[in-house]
Amino acid sequence: MELDDLLPVALDLLAIPSTADRPDELHRALELVLDFVGPGFHVERFSSGGKPSALVSTAPGSRDFRVLLNAHLDVVPGAPEQFRPRRVGDRLHARGAQDMKLSALVLASVFRDLAPELPYPLGLQLVTDEEVGGRDGTRHQLDAGVRAGFAVIGEHSGLRVVTESKGIAGVRLIARGRSAHGAYPWLGDNALLRVLDAVRAVLAEHPVPTAERWCTTVNVARVDTPGTALNQVPDEAVAHLDVRFPAQEADAVSRLQLLCPDVEVVVDHVEPPHRVEPDDPHVLALREAALSQGYAGELLRKHGAADARFFHRRGVGAVIFGIGGDGQHGPDEHADLTTVVPYRRALEAFLRSPR
C-alpha cells in the first residue's frame, strides 16, 4: 500500500472527533478501521466502562499471538478546525494525525495484508481509551485472556524503538486543620498552608527539571479546599499530584510519606514503568527493519506512560514504534507523511524476519 492509497481513509478517520466524552464517535472510529481491514477475519468485540475495543485475528477464538499490533483510536479534545484535516506539503495536520490514527491505519493495513500468510498467529488490537488511561481497552482485553509473545504499539516515534517508559501514579496529599474566623487566624490551623508545605517538600526532593532528564517528575495539578468563604480558615485541603517515575526510582511513590509526615498521602493508582531489554531478539529485528528503510532505529525512552505498561506487567515484551510528526496534543499536531511508507515497509520486514 502506498501513501495515496492510505490518505483518503486517513482523512475520514481524522475527521471523527473520537474523544472520551463522545461514545458514538469512538464506535464510529472503531467501525471505520474494522471496515478498512475488511472481510475474511474474525473480530472479537469487547466493552468496558463504555469504551469499545476489538481484537482481530485470522481464526475464531484466537487470543494468543506471537505478535500483537496495538493501536488506539481515541484522541484528546481539540478545536473544531483540528477535525478538518489538511495536508500542507509533507505534513498532515489534524488532531490524532501524529497520535496515533495514521499509525493505526498502517498497522491495520499490515495486518490485513500479512496475517493470512505468516507462519505464526498475528493479532490486531484496536482500543478507544488510551488517552484516558487504557484500563478499559488494552488492560481489559489482557484481563480477559488475550496473550502475546511480543507487542508493537504504534504510538509515534519517528521509526525509533521505544524500549522504556515511565511509571505513573496519581497521589493526593490531604491535610486537616481547624477552622476559625479569617480575622483571627491564630485561633485556627490552616490546612491549606499545611498542604502547601507538603508540596514544597515534595518539590524539594523532585524539583521541576529545567531541561529533559530521565528522573522522577511531579506535576502539581490542582490544590483544593472545600471552603468558599474568604473569611474562614480552611480546615481541609488537598493537593493532587501526577507522578512519573523511571524503573531506577521505583520507590519514589512510597517515599512520599517520608517527605510529607504531616499530611495523609493517598495513592489513588500506581502503575509500574515499562521496559524491554535492548538485546531482546524482537527489538534487534525491529531496529534492523528500521535500518533497512534508511532510519537509524535508535532506542528511545518516553516520559509519558502508554499501554505498554499493561503488557510489561504480564511479562510481555512491548515496544512503541510509529510514524514521525510533531505537536502531540497541541494546536499544530501533524504527521510527517515522509515516514509513513518506510514505517509500513519496516513493519513488514520485521514481521517476516526470523526470530
Q: Is 31 a catalytic residue?
A: no
Residue 94, CA distances (Å) to 17, 49, 80, 126, 157 in order: 10, 27, 10, 20, 17
DSSP state of 160: -
Q: 62 near 42, Cβ under 8 Å?
A: yes
Burial class of residue 87 in the structure, from the number of CB atoms within 10 Å of its CB (0-12 exposed, 13-18 middle, 19+ buried): middle
Q: If DSSP codes are grouped into helix, strand and coil, which group holds residue 339?
A: helix
Distance CA 243, CA 182 (A): 33
Burial class of residue 199 in the structure, from the number of CB atoms within 10 Å of its CB (0-12 exposed, 13-18 middle, 19+ buried): middle
Which of 191, 288, 292 has its CA nearest to residue 232? 191
Distance CA 67, CA 120 (A): 8
Phi and psi based region of residue 147 (left: phi greater than 0; alpha: psi -120 to 50; beta: remaining): beta
Which of 307, 355, 346 has its CA nearest to residue 133? 307
Residues 6+ apart with CB under 8 A from 77: 19, 21, 95
Which of 290, 293, 298 has its CA nearest to residue 163? 298
Distance CA 153, CA 156 (A): 9
Selecting among 2, 31, 130, 249, the annotated active-site residue is 130
Q: 325 near 288, Cβ under 8 Å?
A: no
Catalytically annotated residues? 130
